[in-house]
Amino acid sequence: MALTVLSLKAVLFDLGGTLIITAPVPEIFRRILAAHGIHKPLEKIASAFRRAEEEVELNYTLSYVEFWRLFNRKILEQLGIRRNIEALADAVTDEWWDNADLDSYPEVKETLMKLKQKGIRTGIITNGYQKDVDEVLLRTGLNGLFDVTVGADNVQKPKPSKEIFLYALEKLRVQPQDAVFVGDNPKADYEGARNVGLKPLLIDRENGKPQQYATIHDLGEVLGHL
């Protein structure tokens, strides 16, 4: 589905699944537990993670450490782990990125550089914490390539809430109709951006997204919408 942009001043991106790729979350969790001498089947970890997502309120008023301690502890409890649970929950947070096979998608840096050359401002809006955003960008060599980065804790509201999009636009000094948002989640990214007035694009690298969305198949295609 084509998208026409007449006065584009900025392109904003989701982070995970859009700019960066990691090992699956249950696999990262399994690796960290194994390093601490705890061995759990991958399918049980995946199930515990899904239950934690359903049961833990995403309360971004908590500090980074408190938020992840609560979430990781819920997963550990679901796995029947009780001994040294708080220390282990903190270890999962501390050791996460060392075990994540973190990388950026191949076309990301080139796309960002071309946008910069055209005078287009760039930014990130993610439901992660700002601390993780900074760590990810440093580890992938993407730090310094964005005009603004916004984590959910900056406004204590995750996507698809309007507040997080408007906060980023305000920092960029760009009106919604002059910006595009690219993400991989139809509700949080596409619908959230559209509800604020941004022009949304859904990244669909595997041709699995519903056809009613304006899609691109790699980030380089953003350049065709300038």
pLDDT one-digit tens code per residue, 16-25: 999 999 999 9
Contact (CB, 8 A) for 188 and 195: no
**What is the model's pLDDT at position 208?**
78
For the chain, which domains are there?
10-22+102-225 (3.40.50.1000), 25-99 (1.10.150)
**Mean pLDDT value across residues 143-151:** 97
**What is the model's pLDDT at position 170?**
97
Q: Please, which pLDDT band fits residue 207 given cuts at 50, 70 and 90?
A: confident
Q: Is a pLDDT exceeding 70 seen at residue 63?
A: yes
Q: Please, which pLDDT band fits residue 4 given cuts at 50, 70 and 90?
A: very low
Q: Is 44 exposed, middle or buried (0-12, 13-18, 19+ CB in 10 A)?
A: middle
Average model confidence (pLDDT) across the chain: 94
